[in-house]
């Protein structure tokens, strides 16, 4: 946690000031100038990357599932639990005041990361999944009528599909999905045709977790707003790689998960445009989301607290803020250029292997590369790769409609982050070749 969280009368403990100073030194080692990117300096800040797996260096390529944590995040979590662990908002003692200040400063860090207008528009949630459910139940459900429509894409993660199915079942509304091409590109002509008089909400991912496709969110928002339709963006895959600028995107809701942006698990954030947030209903009841309670009724707390029932994940919010500050310290264009090199190189190396088919070849992608290996089930590919120290994801990636679209049960998926290297892609390629050799002998 940065020392600026605290006021002058309550300075940070000495160990925390030292940790903050150390974080600053680490960042300056990486930022050598505009456009520069020192991946080895980044890797030095992420302790787990030094591990060996089955006697071999860890090659961690499962970043779309969860990212590894830099020392800055580990220090922030440790600093909270060691130095000022207390519940927030209601305590009058010093530890509670310090914890509350850090928690609310974390909300400001999220606001800054998203370029949102106001911190009060930021709601802490367990992750993107809870954010989608909150919007489905707190915003959509009270407004939907029979035969109203919610429009999604056919390549959504289950978290941005199932909650809408549930709210449609509850209200009699209908769910429609925009198809995509063989390359994994959204059909905007079909989007225009499906966006109709009964459309009450558009919900889509910033980028596909299964294919890596980056959707033209700003253009989709423009078309939806022309018909008065609000837009929810699942930023779980967008926030780690793209500028998650809600003002530039123009959307009305944006959600992301902490563990995908180098922060802790079990924490995330939802931004809601202020005018819509004022009209939303609480989804969960309990402590801290109320102003007054009698045995007969209650009144809600002010925004955003009315949407944050119970004791929040205080450490998670503080760790999330540290992760966002760490990520934001890098030159964005340098990071994107580095990740683009990784994706291009991996696409070239794996695409050149006989028997390997790349799934999802959109021209605009984040660092996600899904593939199949002829004659080898993806789970078997993943098992062989693990023995080589290479961690990837195999399965349907919580995107079964995508698999159905391609007529396959699953894929192997390598996904990249700013701390990955070209040498690790060489290791991935060699491990895939090893899997092919193993199953030729079976």
Residue 13 dihedral angles phi and psi, to the nearest 5°: -60, 155
Burial of 198 (0-12, 13-18, 19+ CB in 10 A): middle
Cα separation of 375 and 356, whole Å?
A: 10
Chain center to CA of 282: 23
Q: Which of 244, 260, 18 is nearest to 109 (CA)?
A: 244
HSE (CB half, 13 Å, CA atoms) of 383? 7
Among residues 168, 251, 298, 398, which one is catalytic? 398
Helix-, strand-, coil-residue percentages of the chain, each rounded to 5: 45, 15, 40
DSSP string over 338-406:
HHHHHHHHHHHHHHTSTTEEEE---SSB-SEEEEEETTB-HHHHHHHHHHTTEE-EEE-TT-HHHHHHH
Distances (CA, A) of 142 to 145, 171, 218, 302: 8, 9, 27, 20
Output the six-digit token pair for 122: 């930021």
Token pair 């220090």 in the structure block, residue: 75
Q: 């959504």: which residue's tokens?
A: 156
Q: Which residues pair with 356 in a beta bridge?
A: 373
Cis ω for the linkage preceding 156 (within 30 of 0): no
Whether 99 contacts 86, CB under 8 Å: yes
Please name which of 331, 341, 413 lies closest in space to residue 371, comparing C-alpha atoms.
Answer: 413
398 belongs to the catalytic site: yes
Which alpha helices (H) appear in 5-70, and where do they start and end?
14-30, 39-43
Q: Which residues are catalytic?
A: 398
């Amino acid at each position: 946690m940065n020392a600026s969280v605290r006021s002058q009368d309550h300075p940070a403990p000495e160990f925390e000031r030292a940790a903050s100073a150390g974080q600053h030194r680490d960042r300056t080692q990486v930022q050598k100038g505009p456009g520069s990117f020192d991946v080895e300096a980044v890797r030095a800040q992420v302790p787990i990357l030094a591990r060996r797996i089955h006697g071999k260096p860890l090659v961690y390529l499962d970043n779309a599932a969860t990212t590894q944590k830099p020392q800055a995040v580990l220090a922030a979590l440790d600093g909270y639990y060691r130095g000022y662990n207390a519940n927030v908002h209601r305590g009058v003692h010093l530890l509670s005041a310090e914890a509350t200040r850090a928690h609310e400063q974390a909300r400001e860090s999220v606001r800054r990361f998203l370029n949102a207008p106001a911190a009060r528009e930021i709601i802490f949630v367990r992750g993107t999944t809870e954010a989608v459910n909150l919007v489905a139940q707190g915003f959509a459900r009270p407004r939907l009528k029979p035969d109203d429509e919610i429009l999604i894409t056919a390549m959504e993660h289950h978290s941005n599909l199932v909650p809408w199915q549930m709210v449609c079942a509850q209200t009699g509304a209908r769910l429609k999905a925009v198809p995509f091409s063989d390359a994994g590109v959204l059909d905007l002509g079909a989007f225009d045709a499906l966006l109709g008089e009964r459309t009450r909400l558009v919900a889509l991912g910033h980028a596909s977790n299964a294919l890596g496709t980056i959707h033209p969110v700003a253009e989709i928002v423009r078309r939806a707003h022309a018909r008065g339709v609000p837009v929810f963006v699942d930023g779980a895959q967008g926030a780690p790689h793209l500028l998650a600028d809600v003002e530039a995107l123009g959307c009305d809701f944006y959600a992301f998960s902490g563990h995908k942006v180098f922060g802790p698990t079990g924490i995330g954030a939802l931004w809601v445009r202020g005018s819509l947030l004022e009209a939303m209903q609480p989804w969960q009841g309990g402590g801290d989301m109320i102003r007054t309670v009698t045995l007969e009724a209650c009144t809600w707390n002010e925004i955003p607290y009315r949407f944050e029932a119970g004791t929040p994940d205080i450490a998670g919010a503080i760790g999330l803020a540290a992760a966002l500050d760490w990520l934001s310290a890098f030159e964005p264009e340098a990071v994107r250029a580095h990740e683009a090199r990784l994706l291009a190189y991996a696409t070239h190396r794996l695409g050149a292997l006989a028997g390997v088919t790349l799934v999802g070849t959109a021209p605009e992608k984040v660092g996600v590369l899904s593939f199949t290996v002829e004659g080898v089930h993806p789970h078997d590919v993943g098992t062989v790769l693990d023995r080589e120290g290479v961690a990837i994801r195999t399965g349907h990636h919580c995107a079964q409609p995508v698999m159905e679209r391609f007529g396959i049960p699953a894929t192997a998926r390598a996904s990249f982050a700013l701390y990955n290297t070209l040498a690790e892609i060489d290791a991935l390629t060699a491990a895939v070749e090893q899997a092919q050799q193993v199953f030729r002998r079976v």
